[in-house]
Amino acid sequence: MSIKRVFLIVLDSAGIGEMPDAADYGDKGSNTFKTLFGSGKLSVPNLEKLGLYNIDGMEYKSSFDKPEGCFARLSEESKGKDTTVGHWEIAGIVSPRPLPTYPNGFPEELLEEFSRRTGRGILCNLPYSGTEVLKDYGPRQKETGNLIVYTSADSVFQIAANEEWIPLAEIYRYCEIAREMLKGEHGVGRVIARPYVGEYPNYTRTANRHDYAIEPPGETMCDILTNSGLDTIGVGKIYDIFSGKGIQKSIRTKNNAEGMEQTEKLLLEDFCGLAFVNLVDFDMVYGHRNNISGYTDAMNAFDVWLGNFLPQLEEDDLLLITADHGCDPGAPGTDHSREYIPLLIYGKSVKHGVNLGTRSSFADIAATVLDIFNVSGDIRGISFKDLIV
């Protein structure tokens, strides 16, 4: 098999059931995809044809008799359940320790220094829902000009500011200051700009979110491909997640619809290498807000798009569809969940119906992509190339 282009699409947070250690993360019983199925409104015939319900642990719906793709369930080897660690592992880096979290807020001395550098005071400093924090602190921000700083169960330092009162460029500069400060012991996975608009109580977060990720601690699949003369294209927040490392071209998007549109446009581009796509709405808009109906509709929309995308793939294209963690919208909380992720593999030169079983690491994706392009590097993972061609 000679593959020229690999399209790797991450359905952000589309987990498929609790990992054996889920209880250690407070996630026992979580199953994002099963929650969508339980809504009674999930309709994903194209994912089914590729083998979605043939994957280990997804027996709650009848499997497809003759799947057109190969399929697997992937375990997370890293300690964590967030976007950064999940994507790093997909790209070949296993994180033996979770990134720092702040269930009681950030240390006062850290915020005092942040306030000194930005010239603005701090509001909140607690784990909070991104929408509720605006209702509770938005009026005080307007009165004081202080920044709303909050976190979650994930390794994040989030800065919310009304871009009608504080210019967007300033909000981004404050995030850059925070990113420069948050290293070592306090090296959070992401500093996130959370701009919003409106007046109390009708605040709306805008599409100007921007993530400032910590730099990966080693070489990733993307670095190795780039250093080998192959193309790497990031769609959505991929560039942010990897702090730009190994990503030659970045296409920023505001939502799933733009992400899918830009991915389809890439079919017309003559590149040789990897198109790495993140579709964020599943997680950001629906999972964290416990919106089962919205999440289900978004998955149905992706499946419709997929039905148009698959026939356009060339003979030397390969499609991988996966996730990075769970975010069960039916769970009691609003945070990510420690879950297995699905992997669906399709290409006109790929075998049909191969069950790759339950694999020990997300990093098997990276090992396989490198193997497909006949390059090697110091990453984790075991290639399954020889099983699918």
Residue 1 pLDDT: 60
- Cβ distance 338 to 326 under 8 Å? yes
Q: Is 108-212 the same fold as 5-98+217-388?
A: no
Mean pLDDT of the chain: 96
Per-residue pLDDT band at 153 (split at 50, 70, 90): confident
- Cβ distance 72 to 387 under 8 Å? no
β-strand partners of 205 = 196
Separation in Å, CA 207 to CA 90, 196, 229, 323: 26, 9, 34, 22
Residue 66 pLDDT: 94
Residue 313 pLDDT: 98
Per-residue pLDDT band at 206 (split at 50, 70, 90): very high
Sheet with 273-279, edge to edge strand ranges: 249-251, 231-235, 273-279, 5-11, 317-322, 341-346, 70-74, 355-359
237, 246, 241: which is closest to 219 by C-alpha?
246
* Of 214-218, 255-259, 337-341, minimum mean pLDDT range: 214-218
Residue ranges covered by each domain of the chain: 5-98+217-388, 108-212
Is residue 19 pLDDT above 80, yes or no? yes
List pLDDT tens digits, range 226-266: 999 999 999 999 999 999 999 999 999 999 999 999 999 99
Average pLDDT rounded to a whole number, residues 185-204: 96
5-98+217-388 under CATH 3.40.720.10, yes or no = yes
Write out the two tokens for 24: 């250690």
Average pLDDT rounded to a whole number, residues 261-285: 97
Average pLDDT rounded to a whole number, residues 76-105: 94
Write out the two tokens for 178: 């925070």
DSSP one-letter string for 365-383: HHHHHHHHTT---S-----
Write out the two tokens for 244: 């730009």
User: Residue 250 burial by CB count (10 A; 0-12/13-18/19+): exposed, middle or buried?
Assistant: middle
- Alpha-carbon torsion 323, 329, 331, 335, what sign? positive
User: Beta strand 341-346 with 70-74: parallel, antiparallel or unpaired?
Assistant: antiparallel
Residue 98 pLDDT: 86
Residue 207 pLDDT: 87
Average pLDDT rounded to a whole number, residues 148-175: 96
- Alpha-carbon torsion 174, 175, 177, 178, what sign? positive
User: Tokens 């605040």 correspond to what residue?
Assistant: 203
pTM above 0.85, yes or no: yes
CATH annotation of 108-212: 3.30.70.1250
Is residue 112 pLDDT above 80, yes or no? yes
Q: Kindly state the helix (H) or strand (E) to which residue 203 belongs, with its residue range.
A: strand 202-205
SS3 content of the chain, % helix, strand, coil (to 5): 35, 20, 45
Is residue 87 pLDDT above 80, yes or no? yes
Residue 348 pLDDT: 93
